[in-house]
């Protein structure tokens, strides 16, 4: 993948790195068990505090003036920043075009880069939970050190795998723009059981996987995405399936507790989006759950 061929400079990035993060480390996750919990939480969630049971209401964080000073500084030139900028700019461009064709207005996603931790609209953004989208402030949060974690913990990595992570989170923003996220939240509140609420979450996450594939399809020629690149994303999707993570954590799989989908499902829906480039093929809500 040649990500430097993608357009950049689209704005929308708040660079809060280097501000010292959260005094005391924010949400603490330690030990082998904690590591597995963090792995489950860190991959493509929406609100990490709900997963880890953290208190997002009264976080310890850097001062507001520090945050403003960091985000108002000159444009960063380091490679991590440039990579994230080009993925975000291109994804916003793709979705802006898709919305325009449908006669709708798209509000570009924003993204916060931070080190260790920072305050977000959903509470504390902490590197232990990895990248996530907060629908309350319409921002993706990421500590780019997460990319190294992908390599260490999953034996994966690669530019297109990292792009898949970001495009998935931006997919959640698209869902927010379309009102899908609100519909899922209402469905979960009225669910008759935890298993039923989890099924709604799985549908949401698989659609975001599909949306990530749509973005990859639309920029494939420009970014020179190869089959080897696609395999990076597929290996990542396989590694972060709920069944695989549960098997690592507890040695057994409990399908009713899935919140993101199995490895097979995640591969299927990312591939569907990538092969078709058509967001209309990403309807995970009008299918029998057992056939997802």
Tens of pLDDT, residues 229-272: 999 999 999 988 999 889 988 899 999 999 999 999 999 999 99
State pTM to two decimals. 0.83
Express each pLDDT in 3-42 by its tens digit: 999 999 988 999 999 754 443 333 222 222 333 334 444 4
Alpha carbon 170 to its chain centroid, in Å, reads: 7
């Amino acid at each position: 993948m040649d990500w430097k061929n993608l357009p950049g400079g689209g704005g929308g990035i708040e660079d809060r790195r280097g501000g010292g993060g959260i005094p005391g480390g924010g949400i603490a996750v330690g030990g082998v068990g904690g590591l597995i919990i963090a792995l489950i939480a860190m991959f493509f969630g929406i609100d990490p505090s709900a997963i880890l049971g953290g208190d997002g209401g009264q976080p310890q964080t850097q001062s507001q003036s520090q945050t403003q000073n960091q985000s108002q500084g000159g444009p960063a030139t380091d490679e991590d920043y440039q990579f994230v900028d080009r993925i975000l700019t291109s994804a916003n461009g793709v979705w802006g075009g898709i919305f325009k064709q449908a006669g709708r207005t798209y509000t570009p996603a924003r993204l916060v880069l931070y080190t260790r931790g920072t305050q977000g609209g959903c509470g504390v953004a902490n590197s232990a939970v990895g990248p996530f989208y907060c629908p309350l402030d319409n921002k993706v949060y990421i500590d780019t050190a997460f990319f190294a974690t992908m390599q260490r913990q999953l034996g994966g990595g690669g530019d297109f795998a990292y792009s898949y992570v970001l495009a998935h989170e931006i997919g959640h923003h698209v869902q927010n723009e379309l009102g899908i996220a609100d519909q899922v939240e209402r469905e979960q509140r009225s669910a008759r059981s935890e298993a039923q609420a989890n099924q709604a979450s799985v549908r949401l996450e698989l659609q975001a996987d599909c949306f990530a594939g749509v973005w990859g399809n639309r920029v494939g020629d420009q970014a020179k995405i190869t089959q080897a690149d696609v395999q990076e994303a597929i290996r990542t999707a396989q590694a972060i399936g709920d069944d695989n993570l549960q098997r690592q954590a507890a040695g057994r799989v409990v399908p009713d507790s899935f919140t993101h989908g199995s490895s097979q499902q995640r591969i299927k829906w990312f591939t569907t989006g990538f092969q078709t480039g058509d967001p209309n093929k990403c309807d995970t809500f009008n299918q029998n759950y057992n056939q997802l």
